[in-house]
Amino acid sequence: MPEHSKTWIDDTTLRVMTYKSGSFTFQLGLDLKQIQAMLDRVNDSQKRFNKTPSLPLIIDQVQDKVLASSIYSTNTIEGGQFTEQETANILKQDPKTIQKSEERRLTNLKESIEWIKKFSSKKLLPVNGKIFELSTMFQLHTLVSQNLAEQHNPAGQLRNNQPTQKTIVGNDVHGGTYRPPKCIEDIEYLIQAWAEWLNNPAIINQPSIVRACLAHYYFELIHPFWDGNGRTGRLIEMFILEQSGYRFSSSAIWKYYQTNIHEYFALFNQCRKQAEKKVDNPNQLFVEFVLNGMFETIEYLHDESNRLISFLLYQTALNQAKFSKHISDRQFNLIHNLMRAIGENDKHFSKADIYRMPQIQALYNGKVERTFYRDIDKLITLEFLSEQDGLIFIGE
């Protein structure tokens, strides 16, 4: 049986020999020149997003939306059945009142994200990362796995397959199956080597996004725990990104992974097979996938923040119009009832549909129908409402 050994092939490549799982190579495996333009776009977009006005209303709403979306996405990737709205509702509950493991997985993820936020950088640091401690990996897995009715997955405990136990990752639909290292001696050695590689000066000074996604990639290949590896791997990626100032996008990208789940899973297999065949730059496609996801995610965050800022300005103008009596209390309440109806039904309505709503009928009790239409037309003239294709919208 071969002994454990490690050899640095060059500044960024560490080759490891295990007892039973053969050789394992940690490498950059990409052409940085090919991704530099996209890296610059991502960092420019993140830098602009980080300058979003820090109004509590905006930050709180973006944070709540990203939290629910991120947890819904990472849980769905692992087979979770809750909708995004159900996820948001569960996250609002007191964790102490939750009994079901399916719901605890969600509150565990929330606690994990909140723990990571303690280490966030307010300043964007695209390079020059920080040391990643193995204790962070164990802490994240413990947070993810705590209080679940799963005896086969002790929180924070590495996997140790018995001779008859098989761990198989992946499926034929997503590029095939893979058997990760199984004995604890190999897993412990590989995890230590992974951390050594991740903290090597030539790697720690790589672009933070590259280092984060490769930490995620190699962690999943080692697959060190019985369960929760996917969630823990994405949290590790988030931790490194948060340390480097990638606010909100660090977890919001999970929505991109979930939306593109086939490509996400297939790339793990594709890059692994290319490395086995010693193809040049075997990790290029995975890194490009993550970069595209980061750019798409940050642009979405820009749009969401701008929407909230516009809504805040709209609310201010609406309140001022009411205070100065440019609109009546009834017209003010008409708008708020319409906002609620649009939000609850996720669609827009015609004037006639609005008039038939019970809450609008109550608002115009004792008034003739033309009063309602006169109010609607005045609010359109003042640009608090608009009409497009027969439907009424909030604002212009």
Enumerate the active-site residues: 223
* 343, 345, 350, 355 alpha-carbon torsion, rounded to 10°: -90
Residues of the chain with pLDDT under 70: 1-2, 54-57, 150-151, 396
What does DSSP assign to residue 382?
Answer: T
Alpha-carbon span 207 to 302, nearest angstrom: 22
pLDDT at position 350, please?
A: 95
Q: pLDDT tens digit string along 82-96?
A: 999 999 999 999 888
pTM: 0.88
Beta bridge mates, 13: 10
CA gyration radius for the chain?
26
pLDDT at position 156, please?
A: 86
Task: Phi first, then psi: give them for residue 54, nearest 5 degrees.
Answer: -85, 50
pLDDT at position 3, please?
A: 84
**Residue 326 tokens, joined:** 């440019």
pLDDT at position 95, please?
A: 84
Domain 327-394 belongs to what topology? Arc Repressor Mutant, subunit A (1.10.10)
What does DSSP assign to residue 173?
Answer: G
Q: What is the DSSP string of 175-234?
A: TEEE----SHHHHHHHHHHHHHHHTSHHHHTS-HHHHHHHHHHHHHHH--SSS-HHHHHH
Q: pLDDT tens digit string along 259-288?
A: 999 999 999 999 999 999 999 999 999 999
Domain ranges of the chain: 5-305, 327-394
* 184, 4, 22, 229 alpha-carbon torsion, rounded to 10°: 40
Structural contact between residues 105 and 77, judged by C-beta atoms closer than 8 angstroms: no
Q: Is 340 helix (H, G, I), strand (E, B) or coil?
A: helix
pLDDT at position 151, please?
A: 62
Q: Which residues contact 129 (CB under 8 A, 6 or more apart)?
A: 204, 205, 206, 208, 211, 240, 243, 244
Alpha-carbon span 251 to 50, nearest angstrom: 15
**Residue 221 tokens, joined:** 């290949």
- Which stretches does DSSP call E strand in the chain? 5-10, 13-17, 23-26, 169-171, 176-178, 385-388, 391-394
pLDDT at position 108, please?
A: 95
Annotated binding site for ATP: 227-234
Q: Is 171 helix (H, G, I), strand (E, B) or coil?
A: strand
**Residue 75 tokens, joined:** 């849980």
pLDDT at position 55, please?
A: 59
Nearest to 157 by CA among 181, 139, 132, 178: 139
Q: Around 242, how many Cα atoms within 13 Å sit in the side-chain half-sphere?
A: 20
Q: What is the number of H-type helices and E-type strands within the chain?
A: 16, 7
Structural contact between residues 291 and 39, judged by C-beta atoms closer than 8 angstroms: yes
Annotated binding site: 227-234
Structural contact between residues 391 and 350, judged by C-beta atoms closer than 8 angstroms: yes
Through-space distance between the first and last CA atoms of the chain, rounded to whole angstroms: 73
CATH of span 5-305: 1.10.3290.10
Q: Which residue has the tokens 């080692």?
A: 222
pLDDT at position 1, please?
A: 52
